[in-house]
Amino acid sequence: MKNKVWFVTGAGQGIGLVVTKELLKRGHKVIATSRNKSKIEEAIGTNENLLALSVDIKDLKAVESAVKSGVEKFGEIDVLLNNAGYSQMWTFEETDMEDIKGNIETNLIGTLNVTHAVLPVMRKQKHGHIYITSSAWGYGTVPYNSVYAVVKFGLDGFAESISHELKTVGISISSIKPGGVRTNFLTSDSLQTGKSTIEEYAAGRDEWVNTVKSWNGYQDGNPQKYAEFIIGLTEKDSVPPMHIFAGRDSYEIAKNKIAAVQKDMDELEAQATNLHFEN
Over the stretch 165-189, which tens digit does the pLDDT of each residue have? 999 999 999 999 998 887 665 566 6
User: CA 249 to CA 220: how far, in whole Å?
Assistant: 8
- Annotated domain spans of the chain: 5-272
Architecture (CATH level 2) of domain 5-272: 3-Layer(aba) Sandwich (3.40)
Residues 30-51 have a mean pLDDT of 95
Neighbours of 168 (CB within 10 A): 8
Residues 188-201 have a mean pLDDT of 75
Examine the residue annotation and report whether 131 is marked as an active-site residue of this protein: no
pLDDT of 53 above 80: yes
Neighbours of 8 (CB within 10 A): 24
**pLDDT at 49 (0 to 100):** 97
222: Cβ contacts below 8 Å, ≥ 6 apart: 181, 182
Among residues 134, 135, 172, 174, the one annotated as catalytic is 134
Examine the residue annotation and report whether 152 is marked as an active-site residue of this protein: yes
Q: How confident is the model at residue 94 (pLDDT cuts 50, 70, 90)?
A: confident
Q: How confident is the model at residue 19 (pLDDT cuts 50, 70, 90)?
A: very high
Examine the residue annotation and report whether 238 is marked as an active-site residue of this protein: no
Among residues 131, 139, 144, 148, the one annotated as catalytic is 148
User: CA 79 to CA 159: how far, in whole Å?
Assistant: 15
User: CA 134 to CA 132: how far, in whole Å?
Assistant: 6
**pLDDT at 185 (0 to 100):** 58
Among 59-68, 79-88, 248-257, which stretch is predicted with the lowest mean pLDDT?
A: 79-88
The residue ranking higher by pLDDT, 230 or 90, is 230
As a whole-number percent, the residues of the chain with pLDDT over 90 amount to 71
Q: What is the crossing angle of helices 146-167 and 110-125, to 10°?
A: 10
Q: Note the helical H segments in 92-217.
A: 97-103, 110-125, 146-167, 199-214
In this structure, are strands 171-178 and 128-133 parallel, antiparallel, or unpaired? parallel
Q: 227, 181 in Cβ contact below 8 A?
A: no
Tell me: the pLDDT tens digits for 114-142?
A: 999 999 999 999 999 999 999 998 899 88
Among residues 4, 21, 29, 152, the one annotated as catalytic is 152
